[in-house]
């Protein structure tokens, strides 16, 4: 295994939080043609670490050499392109998923850390508001059910105390 493959495997193992950015930085440095539009040429693959490791494609290299999934690479690539456009993201300690989620939710990706954090804070407030509304609705439902149960208990108690019911019990006493 080459130094590049070994380094990529080590970086891939440190993906928690923003460790994925170190991996992507290394790929960007060692295999820059992967970041160009379109598929890499056969010559680029052959002349790179990918070809040297005996692979004909980046996806084959990912799956067989790095023991990783192409779908994860594509998700990281989408997020990393945003990191390249918005360098402040490197210092935010964000996962690729958090960056992609923000991108999917907004038409215009936040241009500063402050705007990013404001949007996240608004989302957190909205989630908390919905949670509290749901909790209040559940409480109202439980109160209504409790009142209904108590009303039914009263009706059963009144029925049990009625002379007619007592007479029926006496009539059908099987003891």
Tell me whether residue 112 is in a domain.
Answer: no
Determine contact, residues 83/24, Cβ cutoff 8 Å: yes
Bigger pLDDT: 175 or 57?
A: 57
Asked whether residue 46 falls in the same domain as residue 94, the answer is yes
Q: Residue 156 has which token pair? A: 């059963």
Q: DSSP secondary structure string, 10-50?
A: HHHHT-TTTHHHHHHHHHHHH-GGGGSSSPPPHHHHHTSHH
Tell me whether residue 72 is in a domain.
Answer: yes
Rounded Cα distance between 31 and 4, Å, is 10
Q: If you average pLDDT over residues 135-148, what whole number do you get? A: 93
pLDDT computed for residue 157 by the predictor: 82
Tell me whether residue 66 is in a domain.
Answer: yes
Tell me whether residue 117 is in a domain.
Answer: no
pLDDT computed for residue 71 by the predictor: 93
- When pLDDT is cut at 50, 70 and 90, the band that residue 161 belongs to is confident
Rounded Cα distance between 51 and 23, Å, is 19
Instruction: Choose the most confident range, by mean pLDDT, from 83-87, 91-95, 162-166.
Output: 83-87
Position 169 pLDDT exceeds 80: no
Tell me whether residue 58 is in a domain.
Answer: yes
Position 173 pLDDT exceeds 70: no
Q: How many structural domains comprise the chain?
A: 2
Asked whether residue 130 falls in the same domain as residue 102, the answer is no
Mean pLDDT of the chain: 88
Q: Could you read off the pLDDT of 110-141 as tens digits, one per residue?
A: 999 999 999 989 989 999 999 999 999 999 99
Position 172 pLDDT exceeds 90: no
The whole domain housing 19 covers: 3-107
Which contacts qualify for 4-13: CB closer than 8 Å, 24 or more apart? 4/30, 4/49, 5/49, 5/53, 5/65, 5/66, 8/66, 9/66, 9/67, 12/66, 12/68
Q: Could you read off the pLDDT of 61-76 as tens digits, one per residue?
A: 999 999 899 999 999 9
Asked whether residue 9 falls in the same domain as residue 56, the answer is yes
pLDDT computed for residue 162 by the predictor: 79
Tell me whether residue 25 is in a domain.
Answer: yes
Q: Could you read off the pLDDT of 5-53 as tens digits, one per residue?
A: 788 888 877 655 568 999 999 999 999 999 998 999 999 999 999 999 9
Tell me whether residue 115 is in a domain.
Answer: no
pTM of the model: 0.71
């Amino acid at each position: 295994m080459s130094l590049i493959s070994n380094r990529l495997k080590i970086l891939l193992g440190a993906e928690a939080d923003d460790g994925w950015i170190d991996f992507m930085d290394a790929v960007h440095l060692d295999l820059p043609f992967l970041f160009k539009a379109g598929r890499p040429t056969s010559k680029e693959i052959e002349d790179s670490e990918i070809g040297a490791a005996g692979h004909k494609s980046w996806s084959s290299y990912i799956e067989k050499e790095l023991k990783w999934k192409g779908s994860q690479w594509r998700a990281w690539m989408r997020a990393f392109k945003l990191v390249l456009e918005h360098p402040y993201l490197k210092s935010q300690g964000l996962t690729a998923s958090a960056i992609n989620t923000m991108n999917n939710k907004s038409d215009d990706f936040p241009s500063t850390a402050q705007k990013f954090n404001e949007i996240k804070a608004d989302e957190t407030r909205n989630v908390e508001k919905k949670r509290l509304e749901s909790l209040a609705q559940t409480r109202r439902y439980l109160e209504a059910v409790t009142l209904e149960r108590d009303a039914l208990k009263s009706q059963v108690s009144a029925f049990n105390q009625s002379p007619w019911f007592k007479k029926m019990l006496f009539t059908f006493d099987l003891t």
